[in-house]
Structure formats: structure tokens, C-alpha cells
Structure 1
Amino acid sequence: MPDSASNRKPRTGVAALTQAGDGDFSVIDAIGGPRGVVESMLPGFVFVVMFVITSDLRSTVLVSAVLAAVQVVARLIQRQSVMGALSGLVSVAICLVWAWHSHEARNYYMFGFITNAAYIVLLGISLIARVPGLGLVVEFIRSLPTDHFRDWFHGWMNDKPLKQAYMAITALWVGVFALRLLVQVPLYLSDRVAWLGTARLLMGIPFWALAIWVSYLIVATPMHRHRELERAAQRQSADSGDLTAERG
């Protein structure tokens, strides 16, 4: 069963769309809040600025790694959730190791290329199969189908407006990931680290926020309608159960 709006905690990323139907959606929350934005962008910003200024890959990697670790430690000291910062640390660590091992600063961005390409493939396959990938993610997080998987799956897949909305936002995100590669890969191939880093920053959180906002505009109305239908069905089921109990 879906959680009530009052019991929900703010979610980040695509998971925030699970709250769109009840009017609890916030773009700021979806991108992790002001602190989350800073934590996401700062290591990459420091990496490109330091490398452009010093051309010293060793010191650039070291400072970026220390900065990412400090962000996690700061949250631990303040007894705050570390999941976002920790996942960011892992991602930054992979990028830094790749750059260090290859001795090329531009390879800091290789992991991002791979993940974007993987998302394009997975979401593209889901569009071809007519089972929108983002619909699967949002509905799974929203209602956690531990039982009656078939009923859960057909419940939203058979809601034509909702399915169409999920198809649309899945296609939108394929476009976002593809545009990132279209702009950034040529900069990588020409070894323009400064421009590549700038493009990566601009097409990171800002693009993420815009894509989430547009996704919200697309899914909010059909999701709200779908939830109203779910609640009506639950009330009808409860009323039927009460009536049966009275007759018994």
C-alpha cells in the first residue's frame, strides 16, 4: 500500500517523484537540498580548477579525495544521514582512481560516460518493451510490491494516462543522458579538460533539477488521479469487508 503523504520523508533524485501525486514534491529536496548540491558539485569543481591552475594531477587527485572524505566525516560528526555523501564519495573515488591510474586528468570523467551510456541502454530497452523504466522505479519505491506482484504491475501499467506519462519521462531522461554524451565526449576526445569539467558541472545538478521538474509536471496529474482511484478502491474494499463482517 502507498504511504500516506504525512508519513513521507523527502526523497532525492527520481525517487522524489513518488511524492508528486500528493503535492509534496520539491525540486530542492529532489536534488538533495542546498548542502546536497554543494557536496555533489564541489569535488568536481575543485578537480577541474586545481588541474587547470597547477597541471599537477597528483595534487589535484589528493585534494579532491580529501575534500570528498571530509564531507562524509562532517555529516558523521553532525549525526546526519551520510548515504548521499557516501555514495558521492564512492563515485568520486572511482573517478579519481581512474584518472590517477591512467595518468590522464580527462579520465576523471570516464566513469560518468559509462554510467550515462548504461542508463541510455537500459531505459531505451524499457521503451522498446513498452514497460517504462522510470515507471518501474517510481512505482516500486512508492508501493514496494512485496506481495501480489502481478496485481501491482498491472495496476499502474493498465492505467493508460499514467503509463503514457511514465513513457514520456523515460524518453526525457534518455534524452538527458544522450545530450550529456553528445556534448562531453567530443571534449574528452580533444582533451579539453577545462571545458569538459565545466560542461560536466553545468550538465550535472542543473540538468538533473530541470529534468526532475519537467518529469514532475508530466506525471503529477495522472499520478494524483491514479492514487485517488487506489484510495477509492481501498475504501470500497474496506466497506465490503465491514458489510461481510456484519452479515456474519
Structure 2
Amino acid sequence: MTDKNSQSQQRTGLGALAGAGEADDFSVIDAIGGPRGVIESMLPGVVFVVLFVATSNLNLTIGVSAVLAVLQVIVRLIQRQSVMGALSGLIAVAICLIWAWQTHEARNYYIYGFLTNAVYIVLLSVSLLARVPGLGLMVEFIRTMPTEHLKAWFADWMGDKELKRAYMIITGLWVGLFALRLIVQVPLYLSNHVAALGVARLVMGIPFWALAIWVSYLIIATPMHRHKMRARESEAAAASTNSTNPMNPTEE
């Protein structure tokens, strides 16, 4: 049987935040996939921008980047490790490479990133306007995996004002992150500064992602811990009440 703490430590991204109320040894490196995950995430982008700047050969750059992305998945398959992260990365890289190849412009490698950031901004902003923090929805869903009693699940964490406020704050934080990426990178795209755009994309990728996760953890850890403690106290009180008042048909 796997220990709950070990499970939370194995989670990455928002999954790592789902265990924030209990993880005393929260690790940003683990949350972003560990050293290997960081390297695998950044390597295709690094190779693309360095090779294109060095050779100005878009077809060569695309070919090498594609082979590298496929090799990452193959290595994980050979080592019998989880390939879900590598596969999702491969799909994203494939979309970027195909876009650049079809348009014959290296800068279009980054359009997919612009679109995903814009979608995140819209969805999270709408959730803030609706007073239902999008990050809260995702983290709480991952944390509890509700399969029934969805209304009770929703009311449980939304009714905790401190926890909801924390989720509102980090949702706004992530909207700011995605918006900052577009503010910095879109002008570089429009001016066709591929090298500068590639560097900005790398700097504002994993490092910013790690910073956002760390700050989010600092904001939600205490409210989530208190929420979990209250839930356990309520469960213990209910169990105590049931044990002191058993349904015993032999009692008069």
C-alpha cells in the first residue's frame, strides 16, 4: 500500500499543490518534475533556438528538434518509466514544429504557446469574475477526486472563506504570469527577433512556472492545512457520536 505522503511527493504541477496542507518538505524541483523533467521540458526549446541562430537552416532545426523529442519518449519507454509527461511534451513540440515548418518561419514555433497562454488568461479571468477561482477548482479536484456528491464537495471548499480567498489570490497570480509572458514575448514575435524570443520563452517558462508554484504553495498551505484539520475534527466528532449512540436493538 502506497503512503499518502509519498503519493503527494510524486505529483507535479498543480498536483503537488493539492498536498500543500500536509507536505512539510514541499520541493519546487519535485513539483516541476525533478531535474530530469526540467531538462526534458527545456531541451527542445534550447536546441531549436540555438541551432536556428547558429545555422539559419529552419528545416535542419525542425528535424533535429523533432528527433530529440521522439528520443525522449523512446528512452522513457526503454526504461519503463512514465511517459505521460514526455508524450504531452512531444505533442506540444510537434504542434510548434509543424506550425513553423508549414509557414516557413522560425518565429511561428512560438505561436502555440501564445495561444495556450491566452486561453488560460481568459478561462482564469472568467473564473475570477464568477468568484469561483479556477485554480481552486483544479487543485481541489485533484486533491479529493470527487466522483459523487459534487454539490457537497463544491460547497465544502467554497464555503471556507480563508481557503477561497487564497485560491482567488493564486488564480490572479497565474493570470498575471500568463499575461506577462504575452506582454514580453509578443512584441519580440512581431519584430521577428527569434533569438531574443527563444531566450524569453525559456526564461519565462520553467523558472517562472517554478516561482508561481512556490508562491502559490506559500499562499495556500496554511488555509488548506486548517481546512483539512477542521474536516478531520468533524469526521472524528461524527465517529465519536456514532460510537456512543450505537443502533443496538437489544437495548431497552
Range class of TM-score, shorter chain: over 0.9
Q: CA deviation at 1:4?
A: 4.2
Q: CA deviation at 1:242?
A: 2.2
Q: CA deviation at 1:5?
A: 3.2
Change (3 A) 1:7 1:182: closer
Determine the structure 2 residue equivalent to 1:5. Answer: 5
Determine the structure 1 residue equivalent to 2:126. Answer: 125
1:45-194 → structure 2 map (5 Å cutoff): 45-194=46-195
1:192-207 → structure 2 map (5 Å cutoff): 192-207=193-208
Q: Does 1:19 align with 2:27?
A: no
**What does the per-residue CA deviation read over 1:45-74, in whole Å, with 9 as the maximum and x for residues that have no partner?**
000000001111000000000001101110
Structure-2 separation of matches of 1:8 and 1:104:
42
Determine the structure 1 residue equivalent to 2:42. Answer: 41
Q: CA deviation at 1:6?
A: 5.3
Q: CA deviation at 1:94?
A: 0.4
Amino acid at match of 2:75: A
Amino acid at match of 1:23: A
Q: Secondary structure of the equivalent of 1:74?
A: helix
Aligned residues: 246
Amino acid at match of 2:111: M
Q: Secondary structure of the equivalent of 2:82?
A: coil
Q: CA deviation at 1:106?
A: 0.2
Amino acid at match of 1:196: L
Whether contact under 8 Å (2:20, 2:221) holds in the other structure is yes
Q: Secondary structure of the equivalent of 2:245?
A: helix
Q: CA deviation at 1:171?
A: 0.0
Determine the structure 2 residue equivalent to 1:223. Answer: 224
Whether contact under 8 Å (2:96, 2:108) holds in the other structure is yes
Structure-2 separation of matches of 1:113 and 1:14:
21
Q: CA deviation at 1:247?
A: 4.3
Change (3 A) 1:6 1:39: closer
Unaligned stretches of 5+ residues in structure 1: none
Percent identical:
68
Structure-2 separation of matches of 1:38 and 1:6:
23
Change (3 A) 1:238 1:6: farther
Q: CA deviation at 1:7?
A: 4.9
Structure-1 separation of matches of 2:10 and 2:27:
8
Determine the structure 2 residue equivalent to 1:31. Answer: 32
Structure-2 separation of matches of 1:114 and 1:60:
22
Whether contact under 8 Å (2:8, 2:18) holds in the other structure is no
Unaligned stretches of 5+ residues in structure 2: none
Larger Rg: 2
Runs of 4+ in 1 over 3 A off after TM superposition: 3-9
TM-score normalised to the size of structure 1?
Answer: 0.96
**What does the per-residue CA deviation read over 1:158-207, in whole Å, with 9 as the maximum and x for residues that have no partner?**
10000000000000000000000000000000000000000000000000
TM-score normalised to the size of structure 2?
Answer: 0.95
